[in-house]
Chain A
Amino acid sequence: MDVLSLFLSGFQEFSFGHIALVIYLYVIMDERGCRMLKKLPVLVFSPALASLIHVSLYNVFKVSGLVLYVVISVANVLMCTLWVRWGWRIGIGRALAAVCMAGVFQMAASVLSARLFSLPAADEDLQFMMVTGIYFTVVLGTAVLLQRKRFGSWFQLLLEEDDPHRIALLLSAMLVSMEVFFQLRVGIGSEYQLYYYMLVLVFAALLAVSVIHLAQRLDAVRKIETQREVIARQQLYEQELEAIRREARAFRHDYKNILAGLSAQAGAGELDALLTSLADLGAGFDQRVGEKIRMSTQIGNLRIPQVRGILLSKMAAMGEKGVDCRLEAIYPVERLGMDIWDFVRCLGILLDNSAEAALETKTPWVEVIVLAERNRLSLRVSNPYVGTIDPDKIWLEGYSTKGEGRGLGLPGYQRILADCPGVSCSTSWAAGIFVQELTVEDRL
């Protein structure tokens, strides 16, 4: 009986910790939907295991104090990491980093509630309820605050850009120091208690701020890199234009000679020869400059440098890999009804996906059609593909026809577009051709 009640009280305590952890995880993973709620029951194993360890080590092996605490903490972190890895289908490094981050926040809240518990109270039940109430208010309050500051998306960005294992290592060190802090509370004299709390709070807040700051800097660096690339491509484009100009001049020079030849033929009355020469002339022009002029007009119509830059660079990369890339943009694209960098990211994802899928076919090609109309911009990217497409799954996070770690594109694409009003995206995969369409309505 004694063992059971020990187990149950331990389970209750650990469960509270886990609930707080899950609340923070929701924020950190930038999760909006209710999808994860379904997977929540599985997490019950974690507090159950923790209290089992607690009971068994304490009663059977008579382990107590710090060693017991360390064993349980490690078990908790491990269980939660596995759950996050399973639930969100991400790598172990990213899962560990997220759990450690959530752990730091949860510990900070726990320090507060532990202090409140140690205060003398007349009614223990009332005290318990009060403290639990305060604890969850604090947890929810800070979670909402973090959500407001878009902590989750910054954290995800950091994980995407940097090596997740390094961040996981760093954050687990933070978590360990937080745990040490937590243990230190016992030895703090009452006159320093206030400073102790301040220190804990400042520590947690600093960590949150530095994560956001780091991610913002990374984002800025990435933007600068893109801009640099845009400029580099712009120069290439100008060189191309210069080549066309030279070509046209050379042609003008030839033109006079050809005309002289033609008039000679006309004068001599050689009608058949004249017709052949005329046909050759047309074909020659089309071949030598026509195609280049066409391409540069289409590219020139993309008046937004960032958009032109990404298209040029992706098209160049495709050309190197042997993917035939065609572009049509009959009207100038001067403005967008959505954030330019969001659009650029979407375009990048679509082009990468297309090129990758097209490469598996015998004659790889990618076709990009951009149509700008009065209040509307439409983008259509298509490519051939081999194999089958499971329409129930292509939009799910982590799913890919090519196995683990790939196929992060489409869900990422959807995530970007979820925040853009006036944007709709359609997909089709008929007759071996995969088509993605993005329409931006400009509602002023």
Chain B
Amino acid sequence: MIQIYLCDDEESVRHQLRTALEWKICMEDYDMKVVCAVSTAQELLEAVEDNSRSIYFLDVDLRDGEWDGFTLGRELRRRDPHGTLAYITSYGDLAWKTFQYHLEAFDYIVKDGEQTGAAVARCLEAVHTRLLHERRDPTEIFSLRTGEETRHVPLSDILFFETAPKSHHVFLHTADSRLDFLGNLNELESELGGRFVRVHRAYLAAWDKIEAVDWKEGRVRVGGRECLLSRAGKTRLKKK
């Protein structure tokens, strides 16, 4: 069962949301339950279970000591990386993109009197659809940390890792991005095991993405991109 948490400092809003959510769950027979509706961040954090993949409805304009909507979202992301965050706001002028990119927030709902309940129900439906579609195995995801933020990249999207010109930095290449993070290829090689092969001192390529090998020139084509191939890399490739 998927747990739903609510956090808003207005009693009436909490009540409205809870009723709307419970009604929707009952109508659609979702395997979900509103387990907690509180007014402060502290109470919410005490109630939350780590890694429970829950759904959270949070007030953006929450003011509770060091906590506000964003920092609370950050903390929840840390404790429950695969949970779903949805925000409730009184104003339409929310800095939504910041929440979307940095917290991977799912949606936001503008408080709009009677309409709020319907909006929350629609949001829950969208969450439900997404959860049905995205039953990804957590081991299939590569997580890279840059300070406070953790990024998730599906392992199957990764073409290769490359040592960056800056020391201790590694580039992760996918078909449409190049991500820079702190790390080193030796650790990645042992961490990722057999799915990747060290074709060169500076390159760690995904086995299933290797398209062609140019033995003479010492190059490998990985997902349409070119990597260098060293002598040791050649022996490793030939073994398979």
Residues of A within 8 A of B (CB): 33, 286, 290-291, 293-294, 298, 326, 328-331, 367, 369, 371, 373-376, 378, 380, 391-392, 417-418, 424-431, 435, 439, 441
Q: How far is the CA of A330 from the CA of B99 in the complex (A)?
A: 10
CB of B177 within 8 A of CB of A439, answer no
Given contacts A330-B98, A391-B225, whether A428 and B146 have CB atoms under 8 Å apart is no
Q: How far is the CA of A425 from the CA of B91 in the complex (A)?
A: 33
CB of A418 within 8 A of CB of B166, answer yes
CB of B181 within 8 A of CB of A298, answer no
B182 at the interface (CB under 8 A from A): yes
CB of A375 within 8 A of CB of B95, answer no
Say how far B101's CB is from chain A's closest CB, in angstroms: 6
B209 at the interface (CB under 8 A from A): no
Contact partner of B178 (CB less than 8 A), chosen from A286, A294, A373, A391, is A391
Which 4 A-B pairs give the minimum distances between C-beta atoms? Answer: A428-B177, A424-B180, A328-B95, A430-B176
CB of A371 within 8 A of CB of B102, answer yes
Say how far A366's CB is from chain B's closest CB, in angstroms: 12
CB of B92 within 8 A of CB of A286, answer yes
Q: How far is the CA of A330 from the CA of B169 in the complex (A)?
A: 29
Say how far A78's CB is from chain B's closest CB, in angstroms: 33
CB of B178 within 8 A of CB of A380, answer no
For this complex, 15 residue pairs linking A to B, each with C-beta atoms less than 8 Å apart, are: A33-B165, A286-B92, A290-B93, A293-B93, A329-B95, A371-B102, A373-B148, A417-B166, A424-B146, A424-B180, A424-B182, A428-B176, A429-B177, A430-B176, A441-B147
CB of B147 within 8 A of CB of A426, answer no
CB of A330 within 8 A of CB of B147, answer no
Given contacts A328-B98, A430-B177, whether A294 and B93 have CB atoms under 8 Å apart is yes
Say how far B93's CB is from chain A's closest CB, in angstroms: 4
Q: How far is the CA of A369 from the CA of B225 in the complex (A)?
A: 30
CB of A426 within 8 A of CB of B148, answer no
- Other than the known A330-B98, A371-B102, A426-B178, what 4 A-B pairs have Cβ atoms closer than 8 Å? A294-B93, A330-B95, A369-B97, A426-B177
Cβ contacts under 8 Å, A426 to chain B: 177-181
Given contacts A328-B97, A418-B165, A428-B176, whether A376 and B147 have CB atoms under 8 Å apart is yes
Q: How far is the CA of A371 from the CA of B74 in the complex (A)?
A: 12
Cβ contacts under 8 Å, A293 to chain B: 93
CB of B91 within 8 A of CB of A290, answer yes
Cβ contacts under 8 Å, A435 to chain B: 177
B24 at the interface (CB under 8 A from A): no
Given contacts A290-B91, A373-B148, whether A424 and B98 have CB atoms under 8 Å apart is no
Contact with A along B83-103 (1 / 0, CB 8 A): 000000001110101100110
B226 at the interface (CB under 8 A from A): yes
B142 at the interface (CB under 8 A from A): no
Most buried by B among A380, A391, A418, A428: A391
Cβ contacts under 8 Å, B147 to chain A: 373, 375-376, 439, 441
Q: How far is the CA of A331 from the CA of B97 in the complex (A)?
A: 14
Cβ contacts under 8 Å, A329 to chain B: 95
Say how far B203's CB is from chain A's closest CB, in angstroms: 13
Cβ contacts under 8 Å, B149 to chain A: 376, 378
Closest B-chain residue to A426, C-beta based? B179
Q: How far is the CA of A424 from the CA of B181 in the complex (A)?
A: 7
CB of A391 within 8 A of CB of B169, answer no
Closest A-chain residue to B182, C-beta based? A424
Say how far B32's CB is from chain A's closest CB, in angstroms: 30
CB of A369 within 8 A of CB of B101, answer yes
Say how far A393's CB is from chain B's closest CB, in angstroms: 11
Closest A-chain residue to B146, C-beta based? A439
Q: How far is the CA of A391 from the CA of B160 in the complex (A)?
A: 13
Q: How far is the CA of A265 from the CA of B146 in the complex (A)?
A: 57
CB of A391 within 8 A of CB of B93, answer no
CB of B177 within 8 A of CB of A424, answer no
B70 at the interface (CB under 8 A from A): yes
Say how far A370's CB is from chain B's closest CB, in angstroms: 9
CB of B177 within 8 A of CB of A427, answer yes
Cβ contacts under 8 Å, A425 to chain B: 180
Cβ contacts under 8 Å, A33 to chain B: 165
Given contacts A373-B148, A418-B166, A425-B180, whether A367 and B97 have CB atoms under 8 Å apart is yes
Q: How far is the CA of A330 from the CA of B74 in the complex (A)?
A: 14
Cβ contacts under 8 Å, A417 to chain B: 166
B173 at the interface (CB under 8 A from A): yes
Say how far B151's CB is from chain A's closest CB, in angstroms: 9
Say how far A338's CB is from chain B's closest CB, in angstroms: 13
Q: How far is the CA of A326 from the CA of B95 in the complex (A)?
A: 10
Say how far A437's CB is from chain B's closest CB, in angstroms: 8
CB of B182 within 8 A of CB of A391, answer no
Contact partner of A392 (CB less than 8 A), chosen from B148, B177, B181, B226, is B226
Cβ contacts under 8 Å, A291 to chain B: 93
Cβ contacts under 8 Å, B178 to chain A: 391, 426-428
Closest A-chain residue to B92, C-beta based? A286
